[in-house]
Structure 1
């Protein structure tokens, strides 16, 4: 059973219940009102033919049938008089149905209602005793006809019963019930039709959501639920579903990208490790087969050692990046970044004494971070400038206190480090990928200074692990600027964990 049918059935059932309660209450109210009217008529039955009943009883000329018929007249009254000798005189008004075969006095006497002085009343077969001046009405059933009656006892043993038939009351109530049933059926039919149309329109957003879910299940991840009124439940549900679908799509895209990055990383790492392994295996096979002359054996062993060292460095870099990718908590201590940069500049001057190196460093630049990780970061930036620029290209190193409160400038408490080389620069398509792992420009490979392709990816990952970032600005013919921005201490994450480099798998040109 669909939700629309359930809601419509529930609405119709509630309407039917309300109509039933209202109809029942109105029928009982009308019945009670008509019973009160009958009781009032019986109260006025003390006077028949403009003469009190007691006067009729004291005038023998009026106590015969003809006199009683004239007194009762064209009414609904049924009058029964039981004389002291036991005879019963019964007279029914011309508007009353034929009297029952058994006198009502006998039926009331056998049922024990009415009482000797006037009796039982109230809506059915209860008994009660009234005073001679105010007899209580009661209900008596004879020949399947219901009568409302009062009776009184007079001196001398005479008893008088005056009754009115309840058939008009029953017919009136029955007609009201039939009218209510017809009107109720028409109302329920109209309610059902209107409810069907209203629910069809109201549940249209849910059907659209079902269609959207089916489309998404079929692979259309860009599909979204049509927005509805923001104050309605369906509109709020649509907004919540769209937000959830956006998060799911983002997570799915991230998962696909991560899987692709892992696959590419594994393929590239295998490729990078295969080269030194091939060299080591080749030299080892030559030495074992005795195919290397004695004077070249040391050279072969040196090449094996170089390739093994290269492979060791590559494995160390991969393990370090894996450590950052696992987002393990990093050691955070207060350190002077100016001292680290000063040492790295000295190393650069020692490695390339012919290169012009200019450094602008403050006396101190306190930051919060891992000393070993930041030392490797700064060393990689300077080594990248040394390896990928001509020997006569000048290198400038600038450090200033302040962190990246936003991209427009520094904020107090952090640091900004610029490593500027005046080399050939990089085209945009190369600059966009310098932080991708294992990325090396074609000219770098051709000139034999491609490196492992992991140096700058380690820089980017380490910067993100410290809550900062690294940027590159480069143009062909003007050189390149690598900028490291470390945030103020209060902007660092509480647990300062290692993060993956931009784009998931970062890279290098080192």
Structure 2
């Protein structure tokens, strides 16, 4: 499947960008609706159950009051008193006689009788006879022999057996309870609607204030995209959610700006490198061309021809070395392929020093290596190139006939590190130049002749050392220059 143009190498993940404000408001409102519905249902159920319990308690109080009046009033009077409370009353004596008073159960199903109070009863007058009250609820200390409560959604019935053996049946309507609960539902619905309206306005204001920092993030991002790269958010509270986002945004901008600066610097260095390399190659190529033209066009003696041929060979060798060095730098930039083997660093340095002594017989080259082996895992040819470059650099600094000492040591501070120390008795390196000399095509004295080199030996030596996990540095010395190569010792 072919990727769309411009998306090569990029993640295909799509960020969902639904409105955070809308999602937040809807989520809060949905939560409030659920809570309000749950509260309404809970109040409805609990309040209705409480009212029904109160109605059942009222019937039990009436039955208890009726039990206290047994023997003091007859069944008809007792039934009238009880029915005055809006109840359906039926008294069946032990002999089978039945007295009925008040509305029938069917009438109660149709609603409470007219003229009754909210609780379905009337207030009776003062009590008469035997110290008892006309309101049976005032006499609740005498219990009935037995009682049972039953009912449905519309009626509640209490059947009690009195002490004289008669059966008292009291029936009350639940219509007042249903009306009260209905009124409560209406009030709760109106209150919930008002709360939701207020909540919508409040949440919109709060979310708008909360998301204001994101608007600033957008403004800063667009300003940076327009070219104002120095702007930053700098949150005052970096530990909050938006603070962490702002901090991450600033860090990303710093990284992007640093990467851009590094890319520009790398491009500038590359242009300088190409320009300097072309300049360095121009000299030997021009010498080769001039000598070749003279050989072809001029009538020269055999001695002059031999001299010009020697010059062509020398300049060709110089150009070849420069090209090889530039190719090496390109390999180091790409990642040098090493062939590491276990090698004794002392023996390798001594062998390379012997080879360099043959090449530079006028150089006073000395080696100092430990008596015991110094094992390292390294590419022998590349490691030899480090020593060769450092010795060649020291030879050029001393004019080719100075004293150069190459030592191999085991680091006293770090027993897992070996060091190659190259010192000379030349003019030394100024403190401010000890790091710059490792840049490409840098020479402290550009006015020197071809023997000064192209300024690639030290960068190549450092690149090879770092590829081995070590480094090359120029350190202070009491006399001349001092270069140290650090390499990790081989693990046994």
Pairwise same-fold verdict (TM > 0.5): yes
TM, length-normalised to structure 2: 0.67
SS at match of 2:414: strand
Evaluate the alpha carbon distance shift between residue 74 and residue 321 of structure 1 in structure 2; reply closer, same or farther with a 3 A threshold. same
Q: Decide which of 441, 448, 451 is 1:449's aligned counterpart.
A: 451
Q: CA deviation at 1:397?
A: 0.9
Evaluate the alpha carbon distance shift between residue 364 and residue 314 of structure 1 in structure 2; reply closer, same or farther with a 3 A threshold. farther
SS at match of 2:389: helix
- Residue of structure 2 in register with 1:482 after alignment: 483
**In the alignment, structure 1 residue 387 sits paired with structure 2 residue 383:** no
Q: Decide which of 11, 15, 24 is 2:32's aligned counterpart.
A: 15
CA distance in 2, matches of 1:334, 1:261: 36
Evaluate the alpha carbon distance shift between residue 323 and residue 97 of structure 1 in structure 2; reply closer, same or farther with a 3 A threshold. same
- Residue of structure 2 in register with 1:264 after alignment: 272
Q: CA deviation at 1:373?
A: 1.3
**8 Å contact from structure 1 (residues 365, 415) kept in 2:** no
- Residue of structure 2 in register with 1:103 after alignment: none
- Residue of structure 1 in register with 2:346 after alignment: 338
CA distance in 1, matches of 2:452, 2:354: 24
Q: Decide which of 433, 441, 457 is 1:438's aligned counterpart.
A: 441
- Residue of structure 1 in register with 2:464 after alignment: 462
Q: CA deviation at 1:243?
A: 5.7
CA distance in 1, matches of 2:212, 2:490: 53
- Residue of structure 2 in register with 1:306 after alignment: 314
**8 Å contact from structure 1 (residues 396, 420) kept in 2:** yes
Which sections of structure 1, spanning at least 5 residues, go unmatched? Answer: 82-87, 100-132, 141-146, 152-159, 404-408, 492-510
Cα RMSD over matched residues?
Answer: 4.6
SS at match of 1:390: coil
Evaluate the alpha carbon distance shift between residue 374 and residue 29 of structure 1 in structure 2; reply closer, same or farther with a 3 A threshold. closer
Q: How does 1:67-466 map to 2 (within 5 A)?
A: 75-77=85-87, 96-97=113-114, 136-137=150-151, 167-188=175-196, 191-192=199-200, 195=203, 199=207, 203=211, 206=214, 210=218, 213-214=221-222, 217-218=225-226, 220=229, 223=232, 226=235, 228=237, 230=239, 233-234=241-242, 250-285=258-293, 290-295=296-301, 296-347=304-355, 349-351=357-359, 353-363=361-371, 365-368=373-376, 369-390=378-399, 394-403=402-411, 410-428=413-431, 430-441=433-444, 443-466=445-468
Give CA deviations for 1:287-345 in whole Å, capped at 9, x if unaligned: 5xx53223344444443333322222222222222222222441222223333433444
**8 Å contact from structure 1 (residues 205, 226) kept in 2:** no
- Residue of structure 1 in register with 2:474 after alignment: 472
**8 Å contact from structure 1 (residues 365, 401) kept in 2:** no
CA distance in 2, matches of 1:481, 1:208: 55
Give CA deviations for 1:81-134 in whole Å, capped at 9, x if unaligned: 9xxxxxx997999x93289xxxxxxxxxxxxxxxxxxxxxxxxxxxxxxxxx96
Evaluate the alpha carbon distance shift between residue 367 and residue 320 of structure 1 in structure 2; reply closer, same or farther with a 3 A threshold. farther
Q: CA deviation at 1:33?
A: 3.5
Which sections of structure 2, spanning at least 5 residues, go unmatched? Answer: 1-17, 92-100, 117-146, 160-167
TM, length-normalised to structure 1: 0.65
**8 Å contact from structure 1 (residues 227, 239) kept in 2:** no
**8 Å contact from structure 2 (residues 336, 467) kept in 1:** no
CA distance in 2, matches of 1:248, 1:490: 40
